[in-house]
Amino acid sequence: KNQVEQSPQSLIILEGKNCTLQCNYTVSPFSNLRWYKQDTGRGPVSLTIMTFSENTKSNGRYTATLDADTKQSSLHITASQLSDSASYICVVSEGYGGATNKLIFGTGTLLAVQP
């Protein structure tokens, strides 16, 4: 069964600190892995997209890593800000090139950044 598991479920950190969120997946065939940020009451917004050949991708203070061998990914947030408070969702795209790709979502990690 295709699954995406994230840890921790929730996390509280102080403003300015770093944190790392984890994602393990069992999705096959694998097309790409995405990290989304979802603010309360809003839709998910893409942070990074990585194919199997990419092992790191940065977007500002967000850095995602991918180990396609162990099927693990992480999202590292540097120098956190209050606006980083949100749910971070790991999403794996299932499918072959040229076919319709279906997104498999994790349940997300709820991050709260406190002043």
Partner 1 sequence: EAGVTQFPSHSVIEKGQTVTLRCDPISGHDNLYWYRRVMGKEIKFLLHFVKESKQDESGMPNNRFLAERTGGTYSTLKVQPAELEDSGVYFCASSQDQFGHSARGGEQYFGPGTRLTVT
Tokens representing 48 are 């990074």
Contacting range for partner 1; rule: CB under 8 A; set: 20-28, 59-67, 78-86, 92-100? 92-100
User: Per rule CB under 8 A, is residue 11 in the interface with partner 1?
Assistant: no
Of the candidates 31, 73, 80, 109, which one interacts with partner 1 according to CB under 8 A? 31
Q: Is 53 exposed, middle or buried (0-12, 13-18, 19+ CB in 10 A)?
A: exposed
- Closer CB to partner 1, residue 18 or residue 52? 52
111 belongs to the binding site for partner 1 (CB under 8 A): no
Contact between 19 and partner 1 per CB under 8 A: no
Cβ contact 103:92 at 8 Å? yes
Closest CA to 72 of 36, 28, 26, 110: 26
Contact positions vs partner 1 (CB under 8 A): 4, 31-32, 36, 41-46, 49-51, 54, 89, 93, 95-108
